[in-house]
Amino acid sequence: MIEAEVTVKNRAGLHTRPAAALVKIAAKYKSEIYLVRDKFSINAKSIIGVMTLAAEQGSKLLIKADGNDEAQALQELINLFDAGFGEI
Amino acid sequence: MTIQDFSSADVVEKQSKTENGNGNQMVMKGIPSSPGIIIGKAFVIKQESLIVPDEKIPSDQINDELNRFDNAQSDLVQQFLLSLNRVKSETGNIAAIMETNLLILSDPVITDSIKNTIKKGFSAESAVVQEFEKQRNYFKNTKDEILRERAVELDHIKQMLISVLKNQCINYSVAKNSIVVAHSLTTTDIVNFKEAGVIAFITEIGSIASHASILARSFDIPAVIGVKNACEAIHDSNDLIVDGFAGIVINRPRKVFIERYTKKISEIEEHKRRLGALVKMPAETIDGKKIQILTNVNFLDDVRTGVLNGADGVGLVRSENLIMELKKIPEEDTQYNWYKEISDRAYPTPVSIRVFDIGSDKYSEGLPFNEENPALGFRGIRFLLSRKDIFETQLRAILRASVNKNIKILLPMISSLHEVEYTIELLDICKKKLDEEGIPYDTNIPIGVMIETPAAALIADGLSEAVNFFSIGTNDLTQYTLAADRTNELVSDIFDSFHPAVLRLIKLTIEAANQKNIPVGVCGELAGHAASTDLLLGLGISELSVAPSIILELKNRIRNSSYQKTKQLADDILHCSSYKGVRERLDLALKDLTIIEEKDN
């Protein structure tokens, strides 16, 4: 299992649209992927879970990925966060 | 003429409110959700009862029940994918909404939880209801405003799943060329009905900001929502008039109304033809200078009309209109709902809310009677800072409504920097209280000032340090600069926004704004004044905020202007010492102009 810390950079935060983008990427991979915020951990393939994180701009999340394609999955998700979900 | 002028709701109501009998014309009032007027036949969808009790099943049926759920889910996923493919070519907004719904429908956590409930011996319907209710309650109780609204989406998905489980599929194609009347409609329904060629929607419930409403608007299908008992009062194949501007449905209309509305429809089409082509084009000069054209908002409907006309956002919400409308200072929640609604409708474009700009000429409670000179008196920020209870309530309501992060606060009647500083202190107190209560808001909400007193223009450099944007109110700036009451006909020849003194104050303001790199707009009458468009462009204005009806004309003007030429024009005019000189230079540069005026600024 590998993990990385990311920051929500876009102004509107992890609202519906970025959440959908994130889930679509997570769902492409076989690995189990989790997002952790303040000990609260959710399945990154669950849109409901990601939305209930309600992560606003500046909040820090931990991505955990576990499986054969974990490295690729983690990298793609990090890129998504770094790009501010295409909203910056 | 604005598109709204085509609606004549009050006339209709006056004339036919009394005729409610069977077979007679019946006027029903709802909420205008998507503009347009349609005359056609009704197609009524009877709402089946979808409430499922905690229904248990024998343990030997559990596997069948799991299969039944799997099949329903994958049928619905297929249906969603089909709808999604159909809207792919439409705006990204719609596709995104449907994609989210698809992701919710196939959410692995929800799916697992439903299956686990079925394994405990509940029917598939019960399991679906239980799980969605659980998620919905979570969404409803969250502090996150945007999330709370998603609860409605969850309801729709739940209903669709149950409909499929019960095989209650709607045969969309039979609704071709008719007006759909339903209790409520899901986004998928709207897409499918649009495909089937439905011409209008009427629902008994629904909110103006719901995805179904947004979809109807994007598809340009007129819709009226919140029409009570529509499904009972309206029968299949009834003749209907749907007025999506006024939120009115006329059941079995009399001939005279059909004729009147037919005429309106052709007027609207003519209007659209004339300027419609410009709606989606940017306001850009022939040499590539882009201007933001924003809409002024007096009433909720102006937001939609502005967007319909291609506004880049809302440049001025005259919040005191809420006081005029309600005849009292509204409570926090009333204000919050209004601001939030405007923010939702304009999202993702920005909205500047001007805090109450009231004086004794507009509102009397708590104000001194008979001020000798209300225009120079106790008004705007002066009144608000003396009535912190009122001001704080408004700031709280605006902050609470700012969760979409597209709201800005605009302060009227500023004449000193300390008025801005006091306001910011008060705003910080409101923010702190909200923090303590755990209520979310936009922590970086921008603050701007109206430049409408000569004092504000002259200290614009100092003000620019304290605020995030300027908005020049040319009507007041003119009246205060020239000491000419804008409502006094005896001095109407002196009241002239093209006076060099006014223009120099505008120039001063723009220079101060450019120094600090903050946006500066014009929201007074001058902004909608065709003769002045070139001049304001040349002076370096970056935003113009006008009544919705003027947007397209203004866009047309800008798209035919050259920024280089307007700069030369502005330069020449600033060197004129008399406004006759200004007029002559303007006339020289701009021939055959139509003067478009916006009243009531």
Q: What is each CA distance from B200 to B2, B29, B38, in whole angstroms?
A: 22, 16, 7
Q: Do B201 and B321 have their domain in common?
A: no
Q: What percent of chain B has pLDDT over 70?
A: 85
Q: Which of B100, B107, B135 is the closest to A16 by Cβ?
A: B100
Greater pLDDT, B210 or B348 = B348
Contact flag A48-B405 (C-beta cutoff 8 Å): no
Residues of A in contact with B103 (CB under 8 A): 20, 23-24, 47
Domain boundary among B239, B258, B277: B258
Q: Which of B156, B231, B499, B523 is catalytic?
A: B523
**Rounded to 5, what percent of chain A is helix, strand, coil?**
40, 25, 35
Residue B209 has pLDDT above 80, yes or no: no
Residue B88 has pLDDT above 80, yes or no: no
- How near does any CA of chain A get to the CA of B282, in Å? 21
The domain that holds B120 is classified in CATH as 1.10.274.10
Provide the pLDDT confidence category of residue B89 given band limits of 50, 70 and 90. low
Q: Which of A15, A20, A48 is the closest to B146 by Cβ?
A: A15
Angle value at C-alpha B386, between B384 and B392, nearest 5 degrees: 50
Q: Tell me, what's the pLDDT at B298?
A: 82
Provide the pLDDT confidence category of residue B20 given band limits of 50, 70 and 90. very low
Q: Tell me, what's the pLDDT at B154?
A: 82
Greater pLDDT, B190 or A7 = A7
Provide the pLDDT confidence category of residue B362 given band limits of 50, 70 and 90. low
Contact flag A12-B405 (C-beta cutoff 8 Å): yes
Q: Tell me, what's the pLDDT at B92?
A: 59
Q: Tell me, what's the pLDDT at B435?
A: 95
Contact flag A51-B109 (C-beta cutoff 8 Å): no
Residue B240 corresponds to which tokens in the numbers above? 């209907």
| Residue B250 is assigned to a structural domain of this protein | yes
Q: Tell me, what's the pLDDT at A4?
A: 94
Q: Please count the residues of chain B.
A: 601
Minimal-distance CA residue of chain B relative to A11: B405
Buried b (16+ CB within 10 A) or exposed e, B224-255: bbbbeebbebbeeebbbbbbbbbbbbbbbbee
Q: Do B359 and B303 have their domain in common?
A: yes
Q: Do B420 and B560 have their domain in common?
A: yes
Provide the pLDDT confidence category of residue B500 given band limits of 50, 70 and 90. confident
Q: Tell me, what's the pLDDT at B4?
A: 41
Q: Do B235 and B370 have their domain in common?
A: no
Tell me the per-residue pLDDT of B552-572, one tens digit each, with 9 for 90 and over. 878 888 988 889 988 988 888
Q: Tell me, what's the pLDDT at B529?
A: 62
Residues of A in contact with B146 (CB under 8 A): 15-16
Contact flag A23-B142 (C-beta cutoff 8 Å): no
- How near does any CA of chain B get to the CA of A4, in Å? 23
- How near does any CA of chain A get to the CA of B355, in Å? 24
Residue B415 has pLDDT above 50, yes or no: yes
The CATH number of domain A2-86 is 3.10.20.90: no
Contact flag A16-B146 (C-beta cutoff 8 Å): yes
Active site residues of A: 15
Mean pLDDT confidence for A60-73: 94
Inter-residue contact B557 to B275 (CB < 8 Å): no
Q: Do B320 and B192 have their domain in common?
A: no
The domain that holds B225 is classified in CATH as 3.50.30.10
- Window 386-425 of B: residues touching A by CB (8 A cutoff) are 404-405
ipTM field: 0.88
Inter-residue contact B20 to B156 (CB < 8 Å): no
| Residue B352 is assigned to a structural domain of this protein | yes
- Tell the residue number behind the tokens 């792919």, with chain if given: B88
Contact flag A49-B103 (C-beta cutoff 8 Å): no
| Residue B201 is assigned to a structural domain of this protein | yes
Q: Say if B77 is an interface residue toward chain A (CB within 8 Å).
A: no
Q: Say if A51 is an interface residue toward chain B (CB within 8 Å).
A: yes
Q: Do B503 and B399 have their domain in common?
A: yes
Helix (H, G, I), strand (E, B) or coil at B179: strand
Tell me the per-residue pLDDT of B363-397, one tens digit each, with 9 for 90 and over. 656 555 567 777 888 889 999 998 899 999 999 99
| Residue B272 is assigned to a structural domain of this protein | no
The domain ranges of chain A are: 2-86
Greater pLDDT, B236 or B272 = B236
Buried b (16+ CB within 10 A) or exposed e, B488-520: eeeeeeebbbbbbebbebbbbbbebbeebebbb
- Tell the residue number behind the tokens 């474009």, with chain if given: B349
Q: Do B578 and B553 have their domain in common?
A: yes
| Substitution target from B107, B111, B133, B137 for chain A, most A beta carbons within 10 A | B107
| Substitution target from A8, A9, A15, A16 for chain B, most B beta carbons within 10 A | A16
Residue B591 has pLDDT above 50, yes or no: yes
Full domain range(s) for residue B77 = 61-165
| Residue B270 is assigned to a structural domain of this protein | no
Contact flag A51-B108 (C-beta cutoff 8 Å): no
Inter-residue contact A80 to A55 (CB < 8 Å): no
- How near does any CA of chain B get to the CA of A83, in Å? 19
| Residue B268 is assigned to a structural domain of this protein | no
Tell me the per-residue pLDDT of B61-72, one tens digit each, with 9 for 90 and over. 899 999 999 999
Q: Tell me the one-letter amino acid at B396.
A: R
Residues of B in contact with A58 (CB under 8 A): none
Residue B350 has pLDDT above 90, yes or no: yes
Q: Do B293 and B253 have their domain in common?
A: no
Residue B44 corresponds to which tokens in the numbers above? 């009524």
Rounded CA-CA distance B372/B376 in Å is 9
Residues of A in contact with B110 (CB under 8 A): 46, 48
Q: Which of B211, B231, B529, B576 is catalytic?
A: B211
Contact flag B110-A46 (C-beta cutoff 8 Å): yes
| Residue B158 is assigned to a structural domain of this protein | yes
Residue B117 has pLDDT above 70, yes or no: yes
Q: Do B77 and B146 have their domain in common?
A: yes
Q: Say if A84 is an interface residue toward chain B (CB within 8 Å).
A: no
Residue B50 has pLDDT above 70, yes or no: no
Q: Do B313 and B230 have their domain in common?
A: no
Answer yes or no: B523 catalytic: yes
- How near does any CA of chain A get to the CA of B508, in Å? 32
Q: Say if A2 is an interface residue toward chain B (CB within 8 Å).
A: no
Contact flag B144-A54 (C-beta cutoff 8 Å): yes
Q: How many domains does chain B have?
A: 3
Tell me the per-residue pLDDT of B288-320, one tens digit each, with 9 for 90 and over. 999 999 998 887 878 888 887 889 999 999 998
Residue B475 has pLDDT above 80, yes or no: yes
Contact flag A16-B104 (C-beta cutoff 8 Å): no
Domain boundary among B145, B165, B185: B165
Tell me the per-residue pLDDT of A31-42, one tens digit each, with 9 for 90 and over. 999 999 988 899
Answer yes or no: B430 catalytic: no
Q: Which of B110, B147, B405 is the closest to A54 by Cβ?
A: B147
Q: Do B192 and B108 have their domain in common?
A: no
Contact flag B146-A49 (C-beta cutoff 8 Å): no
**Rounded to 5, what percent of chain B is helix, strand, coil?**
55, 15, 35
The domain that holds B462 is classified in CATH as 3.20.20.60
Inter-residue contact B99 to B84 (CB < 8 Å): yes
Query: Which residues fall within 8 angstroms of residue A86, CB to CB, at 6 or more apart?
Result: A21
Q: Do B438 and B560 have their domain in common?
A: yes
Query: Which residues fall within 8 angstroms of residue B76, CB to CB, at 6 or more apart?
Result: B105, B160, B161, B164
Minimal-distance CA residue of chain A relative to B143: A54
| Residue B598 is assigned to a structural domain of this protein | no
Residues of B in contact with A45 (CB under 8 A): 108
What average pLDDT is seen over chain B? 83
Domain boundary among B125, B146, B165: B165
Q: Give the containing element (helix H, strand E) for B16.
A: helix B9-16
How many whole angstroms from its chain centre is CA B531? 29
Residue A21 has pLDDT above 70, yes or no: yes
